Amino acid sequence: MNKNPTVRTTVTLPAELLAATDKAISQGKAKNRNEFLAQAIKNELEAIKRAEIDAALAEMAQDPEYQAQVLKMEAEFAVGSWEALQLGESPT
């Protein structure tokens, strides 16, 4: 049983994109058009997801409540970090 079933679809592309795709395939960048297009779509979806995550992180960075939590955590870890540094510097 195929874990990733495929669905046949039709796409309409500008001629120059199809020619560039065929050139990339002839250079060994993909086995065929299907593989090339599937990988291109996957890459684009990953880029969209990364952009969404980046936007969410940027929004969090502007959130005063989040900033307060970060400062509190930094203060709580400061003592442990200082102790760890001192232990690492002490002669054995």
**pLDDT tens digit string along 7-25?**
999 999 999 999 999 999 9
What are the tokens at 78?
């400061």
Q: State the average pLDDT over residues 78-92.
A: 69
Higher pLDDT among residues 37 and 73, named by residue: 37
pTM across the whole model: 0.62
Choose among 60, 84, 79: nearest CA to 70. 60
Domain residue ranges in the chain = 14-61, 64-92
State yes or no: pLDDT of 79 exceeds 80: no
At residue 88, the pLDDT reads 74
CA contacts within 13 A on the Cβ side of 85? 6
Q: What is the pLDDT of residues 42-69, one digit of tens each?
A: 999 999 999 999 998 888 888 888 888 8
